[in-house]
Amino acid sequence: MKELVLFGLLFLGPAPFREANAAGGGGDIVNNGGGLAESNLAYALGHLPRYLERAATHALFADAELQRDLGAIRAVAEAEARRLDRVRIVDDRALFAGAEFLLPTEASGFTRVNLHALYPNDATGATRPLNVPQALGFAVRLWSAKAGLASTRGRDLSDRIVRYASYRSETSAFDYLGNCSGLVSLLSDPATRESLGFLVTNDKQVVDLLPQFRAALRCPNGRPAESLALAQLRTTMIPSSHYQVRSSQRCEGSWRAAEDVFFALRCKTDRTLDLEQLEIRRSAR
Amino acid sequence: MNALSASLLGATLGFASIVSAQPRFGIGPAPVGGPWTAAELKGRAATTALEEARASFEFLNRYASQLLAWRLDRAYRDNFNVRDSEIARHALWGPWTRLRRDLERRPSKLVFGSERREPGSFQIDGQVRVAKTGSQAGSPIHVNEDLIVREGPDGQPEPIGWLEIAAILVHEHGHHLEAYGLKPTHAELDAHGAEVRNFLEGGTRVYEYGALPPEPDLPRAQRPTVIVTGHRLMAPARFCDTRLLFVRDAEFLYDLSKLVDTPSNCREDGGFDPFAPRHFAGFLTTLKGFVAAGAGLKAEINGMHSYSPYSRLGLNFAPRAGGGFLLKDVQ
């Protein structure tokens, strides 16, 4: 069978955010899935402008007032995405007194995020880290406060972003023989079904593999696809290091029929999920 | 034309349609398994999320014995360390096998109830459970309807995934081991269920028409869906390949697994027979996707096994008045 094998190197998540948090006392709150919500928030803060830009064209944000709010948050999000070292996650219940975050009182200060707000309890009382759509919602609440919007407006926008990002999101857990674990999440535009992010996380970082998929899944003419839509993510074998996803590309203005794409993740010798190497294999047509 | 499709087509012609609202199936002296009664292949109502969830439970419960066998799959064992292999070997010859054998003779009955309608009926140790059962093989399994439907990402109710259902059934059937001298804890059974779920996911393809462009953006409930589980691996206690084929249209859920089953060289009691001939190739089920066929759709499943080099099963869908598609016939 003719197969196309490609390897891609990934860019890691926003390093200053992680370093700042290592120094600032952030970290995991539970043994299970520790650090995941922090990683998801780091991704959300770094990528929020892109999500806001796409969401602005969606029916969920059609209202003129929402558009104005969205614009205000986007301006803040864009500025803040360039200085994520000014955000710190802090474990101090007394300091926050129930608040999700504290904004800096002076320009040079840190934005402090309440660690416990990133691990809310679900209906059964269990602690659950924020997933990526929820982290995007958290980021919207954070920057809407900084943009000076009323908290009710911020919450409304936050709920809409969570719905926007989770409408076509899929998640699959990765657990390689108990050696290393992580999560694979696929986020897609609810209206166009185009992929917005293909996120792989271990306990420390979140990386977006979508650029690697774009590079691997080119059009027949060799050019990158104008749009890429991925769906129906699932593992293909035990151990679950191999995944399958259905892919459709838009080439020269029209969508091509969906095809199966396979990819594999690896564990490193230190028993963490390797986020730097990815093998994407496209099944022959 | 290969033997499978020829006989299925012949049977289709010789067999009147089952029910007017139901599609026509090729039922008859097929070379594989069979013959089956119309009732066995008939679809179950799946217009609402709850109906679909119930039908999924009923269908998967038919294969409870195989679900338990997958827990012990050969490849699965090979991939695990010696300690796990010992556990698997023990289980293979021990209570798990006896439970499986009993289940093949007498499947557990499913009883659907609701914690909301009858408070306390699904509470165990202060927690509301999704299902509960007794400790004998064949004890009815009570399923809590409140927890088998959830809100989907579009705000509409949707059934829990069928792999989750498989895990629940493995958990509940695990409680029946008590009759054979084993008493696994809830945590152990959750782990068994998760293993089966992972294993099933590994061999499963789900094809939904309408999930990706250029297909029309259909609501989830209206997407024709083909779920194929095909393992080239051997289920140890049966020692032959097993596979499932479920099809969903806008109104019904169908279990067409029997149409893709190979002749059984395994012992019918499910016993382990090392001298039984093995199916090496198995039925490698694949589906390239849906193609437009006139106003309708066609899905084609290809496969091969050790007897015929190539088999093909065509699923024809016709447009439905209220939107979506209905399964029209199987060739």
Q: Determine the pLDDT at residue A54.
A: 92
Domain boundary among A115, A139, A166: A166
pLDDT band of residue B147 (cuts 50, 70, 90) is: very high
Number of domains in chain A: 2
Can you tell me the distance from the alpha carbon of A11 to that of A22, in angstroms, rounded to the nearest whole number?
A: 20
In DSSP terms, B286 is beta-bridged to B302
What SS3 class is residue A189? coil
CA angle A236–B260–B91, rounded 5-degree value: 60
Domain boundary among B202, B229, B255: B202
Are residues B75 and A257, on separate chains, in Cβ contact within 8 Å?
Answer: no
User: Chain A window 107-126: which residues touch B at a Cβ cutoff of 8 Å?
Assistant: 124
Same-domain status, A101 and A212: no
Same-domain status, A39 and A94: yes
Domain boundary among A134, A149, A166: A166
A264 vs B33, more confident: A264
pLDDT band of residue A47 (cuts 50, 70, 90) is: very high
Helices (H) and strands (E) in chain B, counts: 9, 16
On the question of pLDDT at A10 being above 70, the answer is no
Does residue B214 have a cis peptide bond before it, meaning omega lies within 30 degrees of 0?
yes
Any domain includes A231: yes
Please list every residue in chain A whose beta carbon sits closer than 8 Å to the beta carbon of residue B203. 237
Give me chain B's average pLDDT, please. Answer: 73
Same-domain status, B75 and B178: yes
Give the residue numbers spanning the domain of A183: 168-282
Same-domain status, B222 and B239: yes
Q: Determine the pLDDT at residue A278.
A: 79
Are residues B154 and A192, on separate chains, in Cβ contact within 8 Å?
Answer: no
Same-domain status, B259 and B306: yes
B68 vs B286, more confident: B68
On the question of pLDDT at A88 being above 80, the answer is yes
Q: Determine the pLDDT at residue A148.
A: 95
Same-domain status, A33 and A113: yes
Same-domain status, B55 and B189: yes
Residue with tokens 């290809």: B302
For a pLDDT cut of 90, what percent of chain B falls above it?
A: 29
On the question of pLDDT at A63 being above 60, the answer is yes
pLDDT band of residue B285 (cuts 50, 70, 90) is: low
What SS3 class is residue A52? helix
The ipTM estimated for the assembled molecules is 0.72
Can you tell me the distance from the alpha carbon of A233 to that of A152, in angstroms, rounded to the nearest whole number?
A: 35
For a pLDDT cut of 90, what percent of chain A falls above it?
A: 49
A149 vs B314, more confident: A149
Query: What are A216's two structure tokens?
Result: 């691997």
Any domain includes A268: yes
Can you tell me the distance from the alpha carbon of B276 to that of B238, in angstroms, rounded to the nearest whole number?
A: 10
Query: What are A146's two structure tokens?
Result: 């900084």
Same-domain status, B67 and B120: yes
Same-domain status, B250 and B178: no
DSSP B221: G
Name the nearest CA neighbour of A35 among A282, A273, A269, A250: A273
Task: State residue B307 phi and psi, 5-degree precision.
Answer: -95, -45
Helices (H) and strands (E) in chain A, counts: 7, 13
Q: Determine the pLDDT at residue B4.
A: 40
Domain boundary among B202, B218, B236: B202
Can you tell me the distance from the alpha carbon of B219 to that of B329, in angstroms, rounded to the nearest whole number?
A: 23
Are residues A238 and B153, on separate chains, in Cβ contact within 8 Å?
Answer: no
Which H or E run contains A122? none
B70 vs A200, more confident: A200
The identity of residue A197, as a single letter, is G
- Cβ neighbours for B9, distance < 8 A, ≥ 6 positions apart: B1, B26, B331
Same-domain status, B20 and B120: no
Same-domain status, A70 and A211: no
Average of per-residue pLDDT across B162-173: 92
Query: What are B312's two structure tokens?
Result: 């093909």
Can you tell me the distance from the alpha carbon of B43 to that of B326, in angstroms, rounded to the nearest whole number?
A: 11
Instruction: Tell me the nearest-neighbour CA distance from A242 into chain B, angstroms.
Output: 9
Same-domain status, B211 and B260: yes
Number of domains in chain B: 2
Of the listed ranges A20-24, B55-59, B194-198, B295-299, the one predicted with least confidence: A20-24
3-state DSSP of B82-114: HHHHHHHHHHHHCHHHHHHHHHHHCCCCEEEEC
The identity of residue B21, as a single letter, is A
Please list every residue in chain A whose beta carbon sits closer than 8 Å to the beta carbon of residue B79. 177, 238-239
Residue A255 burial (CB count, 10 A): 18
Any domain includes A9: no
Any domain includes A6: no
Can you tell me the distance from the alpha carbon of A87 to that of B36, in angstroms, rounded to the nearest whole number?
A: 65
B261 vs B34, more confident: B261
Q: If you count them, how many residues does chain B have? A: 331
Please list every residue in chain B whose beta carbon sits closer than 8 Å to the beta carbon of residue A229. 212-213
B68-82 b/e with 16+ CB inside 10 Å = b?
bbbbbbebbbeebee
Can you tell me the distance from the alpha carbon of B143 to that of A257, in angstroms, rounded to the nearest whole number?
A: 40
Same-domain status, A159 and A175: no
Read out DSSP for B1-29?
--HHHHHHHHHHHTS--SSTTS-B---SS
B272 vs B329, more confident: B329
Query: What are A69's two structure tokens?
Result: 């709010």
Any domain includes A52: yes
Same-domain status, A31 and A89: yes
Q: How far is CA A3 from CA A215, A238, A260, in A?
A: 15, 22, 12
Residue with tokens 């699904």: B122
Query: What are A65's two structure tokens?
Result: 């007032």
B22 vs A172, more confident: A172
Name the nearest CA neighbour of B214 among A270, A199, A251: A251
Give the residue numbers spanning the domain of B136: 49-202
Domain boundary among A166, A196, A215: A166
A64 exposed, middle or buried (CB, 10 Å; 0-12, 13-18, 19+)? exposed
Strands (E), B262-310: 286-293, 296-303
Q: Determine the pLDDT at residue B140.
A: 95
On the question of pLDDT at A179 being above 50, the answer is yes
Can you tell me the distance from the alpha carbon of B247 to that of B20, in angstroms, rounded to the nearest whole number?
A: 18
Name the nearest CA neighbour of B60 among B179, B161, B134: B161
Same-domain status, A156 and A260: no
The radius of gyration of chain B from alpha carbons, rounded to an integer in Å, stands at 20
Q: Between the ranges A192-206, B71-85, B264-278, where is the mean pLDDT highest? A: A192-206
Same-domain status, A134 and A196: no
CB B213 within 8 A of CB B172: no
Same-domain status, A210 and A273: yes
On the question of pLDDT at A22 being above 80, the answer is no
Residue with tokens 């039925």: B283
Instruction: Give residue A164's Cα distance to chain centre.
Output: 13
Domain boundary among B182, B202, B222: B202
On the question of pLDDT at B291 being above 70, the answer is yes
pLDDT band of residue B87 (cuts 50, 70, 90) is: low
- Would you call A59 an interface residue with chain B, using a CB distance cutoff of 8 Å? no
B72 vs B48, more confident: B48
Are residues A234 and B80, on separate chains, in Cβ contact within 8 Å?
Answer: no
Name the nearest CA neighbour of A41 among A104, A96, A87, A92: A87
Same-domain status, B197 and B208: no
Q: Determine the pLDDT at residue A32.
A: 37
Same-domain status, A59 and A183: no
Can you tell me the distance from the alpha carbon of B182 to that of B188, in angstroms, rounded to the nearest whole number?
A: 12
Any domain includes A183: yes
On the question of pLDDT at B2 being above 50, the answer is no
- Would you call A258 an interface residue with chain B, using a CB distance cutoff of 8 Å? yes
Can you tell me the distance from the alpha carbon of B247 to that of B261, in angstroms, rounded to the nearest whole number?
A: 15
Average of per-residue pLDDT across B68-90: 51
Instruction: Tell me the nearest-neighbour CA distance from B127 into chain A, angstroms.
Output: 9
Q: Determine the pLDDT at residue A11.
A: 31
Of the listed ranges A177-181, B1-5, B296-300, the one predicted with least confidence: B1-5
Same-domain status, A133 and A152: yes
Q: Between the ranges A68-82, B67-81, B96-110, where is the mean pLDDT highest? A: A68-82
Interface test with A, best of B212, B223, B284 (most A CBs within 10 A): B212
Q: Determine the pLDDT at residue B88.
A: 54
On the question of pLDDT at B44 being above 60, the answer is yes
Can you tell me the distance from the alpha carbon of A209 to that of A11, in angstroms, rounded to the nearest whole number?
A: 9
Average of per-residue pLDDT across A207-232: 93
Q: Determine the pLDDT at residue A239.
A: 54
Same-domain status, B242 and B135: no
On the question of pLDDT at A208 being above 80, the answer is yes
pLDDT tens-digit map of B216-229: 988 888 999 998 87
Handedness of CA A83, A89, A92, A93 (dihedral sign): positive
Same-domain status, A159 and A223: no
Same-domain status, B8 and B71: no
On the question of pLDDT at B235 being above 50, the answer is no
Any domain includes A7: no
Q: Determine the pLDDT at residue A61.
A: 93
Average of per-residue pLDDT across B107-130: 91
Same-domain status, B246 and B172: no
